[in-house]
């Protein structure tokens, strides 16, 4: 689909955005995107991610900094000249046009002849598995079918770049998962470059080559999904991506990239040290619920802690256990729903195991950010 380009395909260089010339909504965004990458901008509502997308599309002006595509600044380029396809949550299909007419519209405005248009429409209807739906109107389609049409219309004129703004937000869970697979399949098959906006962590992790996590107009970390999940750069990323336990502590010393942390009522534990830790300072130790094992367990471990059972919640494919630490705070453990899932009575004691490599100590930044929704 896309013509090969040697060099950095898309680049944001210290891009800022202010609506009132006083406060910044985007506070210096930098990223380089290679051709064919799938980049997701992830963050809570109001974090700046959609504003970045709108500046790239040309629907919002850049306050300062430069956005370049294939080495050329597009800051002053009109939206219709940027050769960018867009997919929105509300589909934005023309209700008075058939599916085929919707797909043909961007080709017609670019001057493609009728015969070529017909062949291209048939090709893209096959790609999104809607071969027999060309004569239907959007109102006669399901939500998932309408989103496929919207995706095909964004791709059909072979744009430089495709932008997607919460495209699956209106779909139910099953349809969302189906469309995540469809978008990923088409991306792998056609090789187009994508910048995708969502607040759904699971969606971002399952679809992206890299994810830029936003908070308050600033990118907290930009990395491949596995690195983002396993090695978050700070406590915000650790909290926002997936589920995490946080235990208060104090740094006794830092040695060889590890922090020895004093935990109230439990002596010391060793964790990987995040940037900014200082000996003697307060910290929070993070460990994901699936990285904790309930004794007895065959898993190797570096640390052990005694806890008291609070509750067991059946979720289906896994079971969530709530335990209370000696200092009174709660800790959550996720266990696969199989024969290894133990039973406890309220108040029973248990022991939890984990590895040093599975926990990270972050500087204590006060109250954790609100990332709900």
Q: Which pLDDT tens digit goes with each residue over 42-79?
A: 998 888 999 999 999 999 999 999 999 999 999 999 99
Crossing angle, helix 143-155 and helix 114-127, to 10 degrees? 130
The pLDDT score that the predictor gives to residue 364 is 87
The pLDDT score that the predictor gives to residue 4 is 62
Is residue 91 very low, low, confident or very high in pLDDT (cuts 50, 70, 90)? confident
Query: SS3 for 43?
Result: coil
A 10 A CB-CB count for 269 gives: 22
Query: SS3 for 157?
Result: coil
Instruction: Give residue-wise pLDDT tens across range 161-195.
Output: 999 999 888 788 888 888 899 899 989 988 999 99
On whether the CB atoms of residues 318 and 335 are closer than 8 A, the answer is: yes
Nearest to 68 by CA among 6, 8, 28: 8
Domain spans of the chain? 10-230, 243-363
Instruction: Give dist(CA 85, CA 185) in Å, integer.
Output: 18
**Which of the two residues, 238 and 368, has the higher pLDDT score?**
238
What's the CATH fold of domain 10-230? Rossmann fold (3.40.50)
**Which of the two residues, 8 and 55, has the higher pLDDT score?**
55
Instruction: Give residue-wise pLDDT tens across range 243-285.
Output: 999 999 999 999 989 999 998 867 899 999 999 999 999 999 9
Instruction: Give dist(CA 255, CA 273) in Å, integer.
Output: 9
Residue 368, pLDDT above cutoff 50: no
Q: Is the peptide bond before 361 cis (omega within 30 degrees of 0)?
A: no
The pLDDT score that the predictor gives to residue 372 is 31
Once rounded to an integer, what is the mean pLDDT over residues 154-167?
A: 92
Instruction: Give residue-wise pLDDT tens across range 310-322.
Output: 999 999 999 999 9
The pLDDT score that the predictor gives to residue 6 is 63
Instruction: Give residue-wise pLDDT tens across range 23-40.
Output: 999 999 999 999 999 999
Average pLDDT score over the chain = 90
Q: How far is CA 260 from CA 98, 143, 257, 273, 362, in A?
A: 65, 52, 10, 9, 12
User: Strands 303-314 and 349-354, how do they pair?
Assistant: antiparallel
Are the folds of 10-230 and 243-363 the same? no
A 10 A CB-CB count for 67 gives: 21
At residue 279's C-alpha, the angle toward residues 363 and 240, to 5°, is 15
Residue 335, pLDDT above cutoff 90: yes
pTM, rounded to two decimals: 0.88
Look at domain 243-363 and name its CATH class.
Answer: mainly beta
């Amino acid at each position: 689909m896309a013509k090969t380009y040697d060099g950095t395909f898309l680049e944001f260089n210290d891009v800022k955005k202010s609506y009132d010339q006083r406060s910044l909504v985007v506070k210096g965004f930098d990223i380089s995107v290679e051709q064919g990458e799938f980049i997701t901008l992830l963050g809570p509502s109001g974090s700046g991610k959609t504003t970045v997308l709108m500046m790239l599309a040309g629907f919002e002006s850049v306050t300062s900094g430069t956005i370049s595509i294939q080495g050329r600044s597009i800051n002053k380029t009109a939206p219709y000249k940027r050769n960018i396809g867009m997919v929105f949550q509300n589909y934005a299909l023309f209700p008075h046009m058939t599916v085929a007419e919707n797909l043909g519209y961007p080709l017609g405005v670019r001057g493609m002849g009728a015969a070529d248009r017909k062949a291209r429409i048939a090709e893209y209807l096959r790609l999104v598995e809607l071969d027999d739906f060309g004569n239907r109107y959007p109102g006669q389609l399901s939500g998932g079918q309408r989103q496929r049409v919207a995706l095909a219309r964004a791709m059909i004129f072979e744009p430089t770049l495709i932008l997607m703004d919460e495209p699956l937000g209106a779909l139910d869970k099953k349809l969302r998962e189906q469309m995540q697979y469809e978008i990923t399949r088409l991306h792998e098959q056609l090789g187009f470059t994508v910048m995708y906006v969502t607040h759904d962590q699971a969606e971002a992790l399952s679809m992206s080559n890299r994810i830029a996590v936003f908070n308050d107009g600033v990118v907290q970390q930009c990395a491949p999904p596995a690195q983002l999940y396993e090695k978050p750069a700070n406590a915000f990323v650790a909290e926002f991506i997936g589920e995490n336990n946080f235990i208060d502590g104090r740094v006794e010393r830092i040695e060889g990239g590890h922090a020895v942390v004093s935990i109230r009522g439990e002596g010391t534990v060793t964790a990987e040290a995040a940037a900014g830790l200082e000996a003697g300072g307060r910290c929070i130790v993070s460990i994901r619920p699936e990285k904790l094992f309930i004794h007895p367990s065959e898993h190797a471990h570096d640390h052990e802690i005694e806890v008291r059972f609070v509750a067991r919640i059946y979720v289906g494919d896994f079971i969530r256990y709530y335990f209370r630490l000696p200092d009174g705070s709660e800790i959550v453990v996720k266990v696969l729903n199989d024969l290894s899932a133990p039973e406890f009575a309220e108040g029973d004691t248990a022991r939890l195991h984990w590895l040093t490599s599975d926990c990270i100590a972050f500087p204590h930044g006060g109250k954790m950010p609100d990332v709900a929704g």
